[in-house]
Amino acid sequence: MAVQKTIKRPVSIEGVGLHSGKKVKLTLKPAPENSGIHFVRIDTNPALKIPARIDYVLDYQKAPRRTAIAKDGIEVHTIEHLMSAVYGLGIDNLLVEVNGIEVPGLDGSTQGFVELIKKAGIEEQDAKRVEFALREPIYVDNPNGISIIALPYSGLKVSYTLYYPNTYIGTQYLSLEVNPETFVNEIASGRTFCLECEAEELRRMGLGKGADYSNTLVIGESGVKGNTLRFENEFVRHKILDLIGDLSLLGCFLKAHIIAVRSGHYINIQLVDRIYRQKTRTEQAGLKAVSDFDPRGKDVLEVVDIMKILPHRYPFLLVDKIVYMEEGKKAIGIKSVTMNEYFFMGHFPGRPVMPGVLIIEAMAQVGGVLMLSNPIHKGKIAYFMGIDNVRFRKPVLPGDRLEIEAEVTRVRSRTGQLQGTAKVDGKVVAEAELMFAIVD
């Protein structure tokens, strides 16, 4: 099981922003598990914390040629190189304090940030790493021949084609699996670049005030000016570096194969936004354990314990307690049906009867507790995939005490089938076969 990571101790570095040209000090600090990556503008009063997530990304028109985040009018620019290092080294939780509007550019790559993080030391935490495995392909393009696609994949793989016709860059292609080793050896030292013919236009736009030959590869007609390449294909390596930094704004680690053709920050962010929406839809469609609560060793799970496992809340939490649990095999839950139940107000109010669909839902919730309480399923999502052989034997009335059994009848690596039975006073009132799928 992959676990979350932070750094062991605070570390600092100073430098100049590539676009602002202003000197800035940046400090990395450890952060608790499940907190994520946050930037903190310590030069504002009060200091403002900004999550490094897609929903805080500043409009590209306000921050061209870079990735920036903003909250309450306070901004942090050019975060992509640092975020690439954070993602590439597998850091989940981190505080990034900065006393200016822009992250220092250093040498134009992420190598300095990698060395800074290694100097701080990397520390494992107890919580399981949050990952999202892409479910369906996502494609983004524009009329200029720029495109990016994400495909389901077992890890993170990036395949990038860089195309600068009639220039020294020409066409470059690189495809690799992204992990800490490949990131450090193949990606981290790739530096930012621009064509010499673009440089003056960027200056007129107010960009590149801190850029020079030491931190930006300037490409003339015959090659790189005032510097030497670290790799023959350093340009495409830097584009992958930028892309990884933008992917980190998903707020978790991604499992997908990213295929990009000439993509930059603008289209990268569009892709991340669509992946984020798919992730949100996926989580909303299934049951996901809301904490790392471990029910083993408890004879009875009270409602407060159930709410640590299931995301349901009043009025849709239909189980009062779990009175029996055999890990991975069987669970028994109790639902006391009272006249005060909300559904009795509109469901045959003259002769109140508990709706059959809610009895089945109560079965599914007991089944969800059974599936999600298994330690091997921590952090995973249980999808209620189907119902079969449903039978309603007797009506359930106010004052009844439902005893709901969920027993595993068949289980595979990713799916499970349960037999659900609801009883009142030992007599079966409803039964059904329930199918679940367990996904990361």
Tokens of 210: 């801190």
Find, among 110, 257, 97, the residue nearest to 177 by Cα.
257
Position of tokens 């839809």? 281
**Cα three-residue angle 107-58-27, rounded to 5 degrees:** 45
CB 369 within 8 A of CB 393: no
Q: How far is CA 51 from the centre of its chain?
A: 13
Q: Which residues contact residue 209 at a Cβ distance below 8 angstroms, ignoring those fewer than 6 apart?
A: 17, 19, 20, 21, 203
CA distance 320 to 317: 8
**Cα three-residue angle 77-82-88, rounded to 5 degrees:** 145
Q: Give the Cβ contact number of residue 22 at 10 Å.
A: 14
Q: At 119, which helix (H) or strand (E)?
A: helix 111-120
Q: Of 19, 257, 265, 377, which one is the catalytic site residue?
A: 265
Q: Which DSSP category does 77 fall into?
A: B
By CB neighbour count within 10 A (0-12 exposed, 13-18 middle, 19+ buried), where does 49 fall? middle
Backbone angles phi, psi at 111, to 5 degrees: -60, -45
CA distance 234 to 192: 9
CA distance 117 to 7: 7
Bridge partners of residue 410, in order along the sequence:
417
CB 394 within 8 A of CB 429: yes
Active-site annotation holds for 265: yes
Exposed e or buried b per residue across 421-432, where buried means at least 16 C-beta atoms within 10 angstroms of its C-beta? bbbbeeeebbbb
CA distance 405 to 367: 8
Tokens of 306: 């159930």
Q: How far is CA 405 from the centre of its chain?
A: 34
Q: At 280, which helix (H) or strand (E)?
A: helix 265-285
Find, among 149, 90, 92, the residue nearest to 114 by Cα.
90
Q: Which residues are catalytic?
A: 265, 347
